[in-house]
Each structure stands twice: as C-alpha cells, then as structure tokens.
Amino acid sequence: MNAVTPEARPGRDTARRDELLAAAADYVLAHGLAGLSVRPLAAALGLSHRTLLYHFASKDKLILDILDVVRARDGVRIADYLSRVDARTAAELFRSAWAYFSAPERAPYTRFFHEVFALGLHAEPYRTWVAGVLDSRAAMIAAALATLDMPEARTRAAATMITAAVRGLQLHLLTTGDRELTDAAFEELLAALEARLRS
C-alpha cells in the first residue's frame, strides 16, 4: 500500500499544521538549524517525532517549510519598518536600516540567516533560499532609493552594495559584540556612499 502524505490525507488539520510550523520556526531561531534533530524539536512542541512527521512528511520538507516561514515573517517586518521610515536622503535611509538590522532583538534572525548563508555555500535548497532572500532585500532597498530620486540605473547596485556591507557588519557585531566599533565602521561606509552619491 502506498504511503499517504499529509497533503493527501483528507481532512488534514491545516490550522494545526500552521501552528506547529510557527512554533518550529521559533525553536529553530532559538536553537539554530545546523544539526537539527526531529526528536528534540518534537519534544519541545509536545509531540512524538512520528506525530510531527505526520504533518510534514519528512525532515527535509519540514526544514524547507521552516525556511519559508522565517523568510516570510521577516520580510513582512522589514517591509513594515521601511514603510515607516521618514528618510529624505539615502544616508538617512541607510542609517535607519542599520539601526533596525543591528538591533539586539534581531539577533536570532541575524544568526539564523548567516547560518543558512553558510549552508548555502555547499548545498541546495539553502543556496536557492539564500538567493531569494538577497534578491528580495536588495529589491526593497532599491525601491526605497528610487523614492529618493536616485537614478533607476544605480538603485539596484547601490542596494546590493549596502545589503552586502550590512551583512558583513552584522557578522562582525555578532562575533565580537563590539557595538561601538561596528557602528563606527558603518559610519565610514556611509561616508563613502554619500561621496559616491554626490559624484
């Protein structure tokens, strides 16, 4: 008899699955993705590992779903923050973005994304996921730059530059904890960007 996947089971409890997926995403943000084991995760959710896999079919499918949930959740938060930034210049926009992306409360997301970025150097599906995250973030920054009258031909390159630099500064802050130096490094980056924008 062929195995029945969760998607094929009639009357599948979608709400329960979504609830478990949100909790699983919270768990991974707190504990990391590398070396993730289904049994400790299931125990943290109050389930047996068999029950957890009932909802997600396999560990690989569960991980893919967690990646998508974290990306979607964070994308909404970033878009909401950028929509409320009252910036009149690119420098003001980037300073506001750095304040948000380097905030202590974002540390779980920052660690998670850097962990998946490292995994993406070696294997799918992480590589495709990372590319999607990088593209969406650069697109959001580019759109914001366009509202500040930056020529469209330069918005994407400028957005890619600033997002790549911010990732490096985030990693420096995570590994050293040196807020003062990292903020100073960001200001150096910003000064160089402003000079470029005036050219």
Query: Is the Cβ–Cβ distance between 120 and 129 less than 8 Å?
Result: yes
Domain with CATH 1.10.10.60 in the chain: 1-65
The overall average pLDDT reported for the chain is 85
**Across residues 150-173, what is the average pLDDT?**
89
Q: Is the peptide bond before 125 cis (omega within 30 degrees of 0)?
A: yes
The amino acid that residue 103 corresponds to is A
Q: Domain 1-65 maps to which CATH number in 3.40.1170.60, 1.10.10.60, 3.30.56.10, 1.10.540.10?
A: 1.10.10.60
Nearest Cα to 145, choosing from 79, 85, 93? 93
Check residue 15 and give its pLDDT.
86
Cα torsion 15, 17, 23, 25: sign: negative
* Residue written as token pair 């799918």: 124
State the pLDDT at residue 79. Answer: 83
pTM for this entry? 0.77
